[in-house]
């Protein structure tokens, strides 16, 4: 499998992990740090949270494969930059989170920066 396919697989798994965790926590509702232990069984038995954790751990495993084949100075900015962009876009579409001109500018700057780092 090529390095790019591995990197994009890790990115997609990472983004899915975060989106599933958000969906799970939306179902549970707001909690505070001191409620975390009390709500432990409720949180970790929620299907979206479980999917989120599985996706996130899978992304870390895939990223380890990426790091064994690709320079970290290339892989990390690509993974983080595209991850930020995808999270903003998907959270806007899936969770109806606010989206502004500043976010568009940020996305353009991130993509520009990642493209420069990849050269």
- The tens digit of pLDDT for each residue in 46-85 reads 999 999 999 999 999 999 999 999 999 989 999 999 999 9
User: What is the structure's pLDDT at 5?
Assistant: 92
Query: Can you tell me which residue has the tokens 């999270």?
Result: 87
What is the per-residue pLDDT across 87-102, written as a single tens digit (0 to 9) for each?
A: 999 999 999 999 999 9
Q: What are the C-alpha distances in Å from 36 to residues 26, 31, 32, 76, 86?
A: 15, 7, 7, 31, 28
The pLDDT mean for the chain works out to 92
User: What is the structure's pLDDT at 92?
Assistant: 96
User: What is the structure's pLDDT at 90?
Assistant: 97
The residues spanned by each domain of the chain are 3-117
Give 18's contacts (C-beta < 8 A, 6+ positions apart): 52, 56, 87
Q: What are the C-alpha distances in Å from 109 to residues 12, 29, 82, 92, 114?
A: 21, 33, 11, 18, 9
From the list 65, 78, 72, 63, the residue with the least C-alpha distance to 118 is 78
Region 12-38: what's the mean pLDDT?
Answer: 91
SS3 sequence of 24-37 = HHHHHCCCCHHHCC
């Amino acid at each position: 499998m090529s390095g790019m396919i591995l990197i994009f697989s890790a990115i997609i798994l990472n983004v899915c992990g975060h989106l599933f965790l958000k969906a799970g926590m939306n179902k549970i509702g707001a909690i505070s740090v001191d409620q975390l232990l009390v709500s432990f069984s409720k949180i970790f038995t929620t299907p979206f949270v479980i999917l989120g954790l599985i996706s996130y751990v899978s992304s870390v495993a895939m990223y380890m494969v990426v790091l064994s084949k690709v320079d970290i100075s290339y892989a990390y900015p690509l993974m983080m930059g595209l991850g930020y962009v995808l999270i903003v876009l998907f959270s806007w579409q899936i969770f109806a989170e606010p989206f502004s001109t500043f976010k568009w500018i940020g996305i353009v700057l991130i993509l520009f920066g990642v493209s420069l780092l990849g050269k």
